[in-house]
Structure 1
Amino acid sequence: MTQSAQPTQVWLTQKTYDRLNAELEDLRGPRRQEVIERISAARDEGDLKENGGYHAAKDEQGKIEARIIQLEEMLSQASTETSDDDGVVSPGKLVTYRYAGDDEDEQFLLGAREVDDDHEDVEVFSPQSPLGSAMVGATRGSTVDFEAPNGKTLKIEVVDAVPFRE
């Protein structure tokens, strides 16, 4: 028997956590109930083989149940805690960086991609993304190697990493 991997903590802003929690409650309650009623009504119509409404409702039910599982898992692993202001790149930090030899600073928030929906003013990268994973653990002033999508290795300087404030 193989042992399952440890769950990965997911960093969310409080705004994103609240939005996802509200979506979960809606899916568990009103949305789930509405689909069950549609399935029941379609069953009452008779022959299910050629009942498009029944099949559409069953498909929607499957999508709702899958999303419920996804949200439950994500929210059970979620943290909204503000990171320490220690200059180390970690989830929940607003990271300022520049490519070696470039004078222009760029920024991103290291967190779950779902945060992007609530904070369009800042680019969000997950810790599992190529850029995020290359920078996790790096400290202010350090340089890291980053393998770009085109396969080239680029040097990136960490200018700053500060806790994100909504």
Structure 2
Amino acid sequence: MNRVPMTVEGAEALQTELNELKKVKRPQVVAAIAEAREHGDLKENAEYHAAREQQGFIEGRIQEIEAKLSNSQIVDVTKISNNGKVIFGSTVILINMDDNNADEVQYKIVGDDEADIKKNKLSINSPIARGLIGKEEGDIANIQTPKGSVEYEIAEVLYL
């Protein structure tokens, strides 16, 4: 079985969602179904059908999260000694060598489920992350973007 890498924060977020679904959402939808049943004829009972559909979504998401957590390999970079190498879970500070006015950018390399470019979290499978993995502080990485190749200097690698 292929283990999927996941950060500690990513696993905690999924566990929190799972607890919410099991302890709050699931009981709410069961109560809604019971209440809708009391209204009589189920064939034309929109509330009943909506609640059953919602129950299907909740149960599907619970199974999906449980599968992701069981197939995950939790990587805690804070417990790995920092040798300046870009690895899964590390935070990388980059300088765009092609743009003299560019500020430094900071990205954390995370699993697919955790990726969120607005929070500067890059999927391990993204072109930028793939171009950075294995490189070290001070290295230059050529990253293929839709606008062509961009050179980034790896200014710093943090294991936060």
* 1:24–1:108 Cα change, 3 Å: same
| Alpha-carbon distance in structure 2 between the residues aligned to 1:129 and 1:51 | 46
- Contact in 2 for aligned 1:140/1:159 (Cα 8 Å): yes
Q: Does 1:21 align with 2:15?
A: yes
| Alpha-carbon distance in structure 1 between the residues aligned to 2:152 and 2:86 | 13
Q: Following TM superposition, where does structure 1 have runs of at least 4 consecutive aligned residues deviating by more than 4 angstroms?
A: 113-117
* 1:157–1:90 Cα change, 3 Å: same
Q: TM-score, normalised by structure 1?
A: 0.76
- 1:75 pairs, out of 66, 69, 72, with 69
Quote how far apart the aligned CAs of 1:78 are: 4.8
Q: Secondary structure of the residue that 1:68 maps to in structure 2?
A: helix
- Residue of structure 2 equivalent to 1:107: 106
Aligned length: 155
Identity %: 27
| Alpha-carbon distance in structure 1 between the residues aligned to 2:26 and 2:12 | 20
RMSD: 2.7
| Alpha-carbon distance in structure 1 between the residues aligned to 2:149 and 2:60 | 38
1:17-166 alignment runs, 5 A limit: 17-76=11-70, 77-82=72-77, 83-103=80-100, 104-112=103-111, 123-148=120-145, 150-164=146-160
Q: 1:96-126: CA deviations, max 9, x gaps?
A: 1122234532111112466578xxx952112
* 1:154–1:116 Cα change, 3 Å: closer
| Higher share of residues assigned strand | 2
